[in-house]
């Protein structure tokens, strides 16, 4: 898949489901629930046991339905391993310019983590077409509104602390892409194999982001 196709998929759906430390036996149930709920982009974090095997198997089985990325990438070596496993984009919790360069070298998007305006601009100037601002929930929608004043040309992804109760507030200030973990992948529902609940939560997020803020 070309870089522009990956970017289009990310922007079209608006949600990246963050899969972290999930039991391998639950993976198919989770992915099918996300797909049925309307989610089309997922991120498997590198600190998940067997993360790259997950990515490799997911790409082979769900590659037509899901855009699959790797998260919690801290260095260029891990970035390259994730790409070889099949990751279509790379997400980091911090700003590492070498990770951005490695991802671009292999034709993949890097979505680096940043917080301050300086970090956001540095990431963008070094080749990131989307910058993840983390932790979004602690910073709040007003922070994004202020940052987007001078940096409105830089697409931001809000991650960390995004819930069904606040996601629309972030959208109203101009955020179009969200990384969502525990608020979407409910741990108790997963433990109980209640995948219908995961599907319902996914659908609620999709509906929330589909609302027209101009009305």
* Distance, CA of 91 to CA of 16 (rounded, Å): 10
Report the C-alpha gap between 93 and 85 in whole angstroms.
20
Which is the catalytic residue, given 9, 24, 36, 43?
43
- To the query of whether residue 132 is one of the catalytic residues in this protein, the response is yes
Give the active site residue among 108, 132, 171, 199: 132
Q: Which of 169, 178, 165, 168 is nearest to 143 (CA)?
A: 169
- The answer for residues whose C-beta is within 8 angstroms of residue 111's C-beta and 6 or more apart is 69, 89, 90, 91, 92, 128, 130, 131, 132, 157
DSSP state of 64: T
Count Cα neighbours of 164 within 13 Å in the Cβ-side half-sphere: 14
Greatest Cα pair distance in the chain? 47
Q: Which residues carry out catalysis?
A: 43, 132
């Amino acid at each position: 898949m070309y870089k522009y196709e990956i970017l289009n998929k990310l922007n079209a759906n608006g949600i990246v489901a963050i899969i972290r430390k999930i039991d391998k036996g639950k993976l198919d149930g989770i992915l099918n629930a996300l797909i049925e709920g309307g989610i089309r982009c997922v991120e498997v974090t590198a600190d998940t046991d067997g993360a790259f095997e997950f990515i490799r198997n997911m790409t082979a089985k769900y590659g037509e339905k899901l855009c699959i990325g790797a998260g919690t990438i801290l260095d260029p070596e891990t970035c390259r391993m994730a790409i070889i496993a099949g990751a279509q984009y790379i997400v980091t919790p911090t700003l590492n310019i070498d990770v951005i360069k490695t991802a671009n070298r292999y034709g993949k998007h890097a979505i680096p983590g940043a917080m301050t305006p300086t970090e956001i601009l540095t990431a963008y100037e070094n080749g990131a077409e989307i910058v993840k601002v983390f932790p979004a929930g602690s910073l709040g929608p007003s922070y994004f509104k202020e940052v987007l004043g001078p940096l409105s040309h830089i697409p931001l992804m809000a991650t960390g602390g995004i819930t069904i109760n606040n996601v629309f507030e972030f959208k109203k200030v101009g955020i179009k892409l969200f990384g969502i973990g525990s608020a979407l992948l409910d741990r108790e529902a997963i433990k109980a194999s209640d995948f219908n609940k995961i599907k319902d939560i996914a659908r609620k997020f999709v509906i929330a982001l589909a609302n027209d803020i101009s009305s």
